[in-house]
Amino acid sequence: MTDAPVIGVLALQGDVREHLIALAAADAVARPVRRPEELAEVDGLVLPGGESTTISKLAVIFGMLEPLRERIRAGMPAYGSCAGMIMLADKVLDGRDDQETIGGIDMTVRRNAFGRQNDSFEAAVNVASLGGGPVTGVFIRAPWVESTGTDVDVLSRLRNGTVVAVRHDRLLATSFHPELTGDHRVHGLFVDMVRASR
């Protein structure tokens, strides 16, 4: 497909391969991104799930943190799932003192809000602007959104009202892992966002 956007997946730690597969299924050209020169070549970026403090430390070690912040500030579309949501948050609760985020979304998230690994669960999640019924949300040591700024659109809440998906302009974030389900609609939404931004 000639108009397929080139979308990177930050490949420092986490479920990189699954996002690459989901993006390709959603008609994007998907590439791993580890270095600033690779970041410069993509139209958009996925920040995968994994361990947010580890991703933060590796972003500093690989010289990626400031280039990521600069590209986000300059309007590059980005999508963060789970740990990626934490990385896109302006404020983090229960984070480590040395934890850095990229920021960009005016929201406060709570790390590991749903509990430990053995508290992981799946739930049907309705996501605004996605047709075809609910997606399966896979929640693994997931964050949730405690609060958002007025310009942030809440796309999804669990039945108890917990916010688990948001969008702010060209930035998208989910508490859950759609890349683990074989349902590529969330990635399709992000690919459409990237295509519209070009």
Catalytic residues: 82, 177, 179
- Whole-Å CA distances, 3 to 9, 12, 111: 19, 28, 37
Beta strands in 59-197 (DSSP E): 78-81, 89-93, 105-110, 121-125, 135-139, 144-148, 153-157, 163-168, 171-174
The token pair that represents 145 in the structure block: 């959104």
Q: Is 112 exposed, middle or buried (0-12, 13-18, 19+ CB in 10 A)?
A: middle
Taking the C-alpha atoms of residue 11 and residue 7, their distance in angstroms, rounded to an integer, is: 12
Rg (CA), the chain: 15
Q: Using H for helix, E for strand and C for coil, what is the string for 154-178?
A: EEEECCCCCEEEEEECCEEEECCCH
Query: Which amino acid is it at 117?
Result: Q
